[in-house]
Amino acid sequence: MKRKVERMKKIREKKKKMRRAAAAAAAAVMLFGMAGCGGNSGLSEEELSIYDNTKIILHGLKETDIEVSVAELKAMESVTEKAEAKRSNGDKVSVKATGPLLDTLVKAYGGDTADFSTVRFRAGDGYSVAMTSGMIEDSDVIVSYYDNGAPHEPENGPVRIVVPGQRAMYWVRMLTQIDFETEASALTPESLILLDTALPELDDENIERNGAAMQAVRTSALISEYSDIDDNTVYNVYMTASDGLNKNETKENFLNNYIRTSGENSPEFTGPELPDGMTVNGLMKINYGSTAFLSMAQLYEKDGTATGEGVPFSALLKAVGNMTSDEYRITDAEGNSAGYTLEELSDAVFILNSDGSVTFDPAVFGGVKMEGVLRIDAQY
Ligand SMILES: Nc1nc2c(c(=O)[nH]1)N[C@H]1C(S)=C(S)[C@@H](COP(=O)(O)O)O[C@H]1N2
Ligand SMILES: [Mo]
């Protein structure tokens, strides 16, 4: 009961921030909430009609946005599947979801999910998550309007994405919009910036998230300093954590948040208002246009990358998506730099020191060691 009250409070607070697109869903959430203690059965006629009239928006599928009501979803060929997934805290989420598959929904409007590289699901509380076309092809993405044969609990519905076999992260509650995107994937980087050196160079701020104070650097400050914040070709920003989690965020959402620099799991993509489940802790890599950012500290956390000597140059390249070139320039925080061929670098290692600084050791090639390595640029 207490949990329910807290959830209701959360919903009410978050409601304030809802965009207009979420207004219909919000109305249903509130109405259900008030009558909510009896669970999701026995809706009044009025409640049912609000539920059925709740609309989700399909954006990017056609020239103009399409609105689909729950009633229209119900009229489509639907599947019912039981599914279980684990939350990040280890708890289980289980549902018996009913609704059309995403493919069915898209086909109903003459589209094909295979035409898009990414599908992003957005919710009324500001939560969003993207699925790649590969994941969509390999899974049943259910646009569910029922759980267990009845409307979703208000904090989950009226529409919830359920993807059996995929992390609960993808099971977007309170769905308001689906974005169909065509950007291919992360670009091959031309520059690699080491976060271990770059972040301490920037001003950090004290931010508060869920009542906890933390130190963090604005993502916009990082990008302004080390990449091109005005690059209009950047659409999505790709992140990878040392535990293998891959996320991609819109540039807008990325630039409105922070990178936490204090605490065990830092660097962490976070922000005062970023919904739980959208933070990325143990952030190892960011691809922003043709700039890649890499955390050596997190690379050391990842199995099999660091040897006794350090991280081989090849492992560094692999971690950011193969920045292949014949020549590279390596630069330290003071701006001193040296150029090397790929061959010369084949036995070189990068060492994370206990103070968090990074040393470049050209090893057998016999070049000069460099302390405080900041960046590596491919010389195309
Ligand atoms: N709208 C919305 N959907 C969401 C989230 C969220 O914060 N908002 N969190 C996601 C994450 S990270 C998890 S683990 C699951 C948790 O599912 P549950 O809330 O049913 O336990 O919901 C997912 N869907
Ligand atoms: Mo989660």
pLDDT digits (tens, 9 = 90+) for 247-295: 999 999 999 999 999 888 899 999 999 998 999 999 999 999 999 999 9
pLDDT band at 49 (very low <50, low <70, confident <90, very high): confident
Contact status, residue 179 vs residue 126, Cβ threshold 8 Å: no
Distance (angstroms) between ligand 2 centre and the Cα of 173 equals 12
Does the C-beta of 278 come closer than 6 Å to ligand 1? no
Instruction: Give the number of other CB atoms < 10 A from CB of residue 253.
Output: 18
Dihedral sign from CA coordinates of 161, 148, 11, 273:
negative
**Using CA positions, which residue lies closest to atom 18 of ligand 1?**
93
Tokens of 73: 């979803």
The alpha carbon of 155 is separated from its chain's Cα centroid by a whole number of angstroms, namely 21
Of the pLDDT bands very low, low, confident and very high (cuts 50, 70, 90), residue 18 is: very low
CB 269 within 8 A of CB 239: yes
Q: What is the pLDDT of residue 365?
A: 64
Name the residue with the closest Cα to ligand 1, atom 9: 277
Name the β-bridge partners of 268.
Answer: 260, 281
Q: Which ligand minimizes its atom distance to the CA of 276?
A: 1
Does residue 87 have its Cβ closer than 6 Å to ligand 1?
Answer: yes
Burial class (CB in 10 A: 0-12, 13-18, 19+), 43: middle
* Residue 12 confidence (pLDDT) above 50: no
What pLDDT is recorded for position 253? 95
How many Cβ atoms are within 10 Å of 164's Cβ, its own excluded? 17
Distance (Å) of CA 248 to CA 121, 142, 158, 238: 12, 21, 25, 4
CA atoms of 362 and 211, how far apart (whole Å): 46
What pLDDT shows up at residue 4?
A: 44
173 ligand 1 Cβ < 6 A: yes
Return the residue whose CA atom lies nearest to atom 2 of ligand 1.
173
Q: How many residues does the chain have?
A: 380
The CB of 88 under 6 Å from ligand 1? The reply is yes
Ligand 1 binding pocket includes 217 (Cβ within 6 Å): no
Q: What are the C-alpha distances in Å from 237 to residues 241, 313, 374?
A: 13, 24, 21
What pLDDT sits at residue 90? 84
Ligand 2 center to residue 176 CA distance, Å? 19
Nearest ligand (C-alpha, residue 152): 1
The pLDDT assigned to 41 comes to 55
Ligand 1 pocket residue status of 276, Cβ below 6 Å: yes
85 CA closest ligand 1 atom index: 14
**Per-residue pLDDT tens digits for 207-241:** 999 999 999 999 999 999 999 998 888 999 999 99
User: Tell me: the pLDDT tens digits for 119-169?
Assistant: 999 999 999 999 998 999 999 999 999 999 999 998 998 999 999 999 999
Q: Is the pLDDT of residue 38 over 80?
A: no
For residue 153 and ligand 1, the question of a CB distance below 6 A is answered with: no
- Give the ranges where the chain is alpha helix by DSSP (H): 2-15, 23-34, 45-53, 70-75, 102-108, 133-138, 195-201, 219-226, 251-255, 296-301, 313-320, 342-345
Q: What is the distance in A from the centroid of ligand 1 to the CA of 305?
A: 32
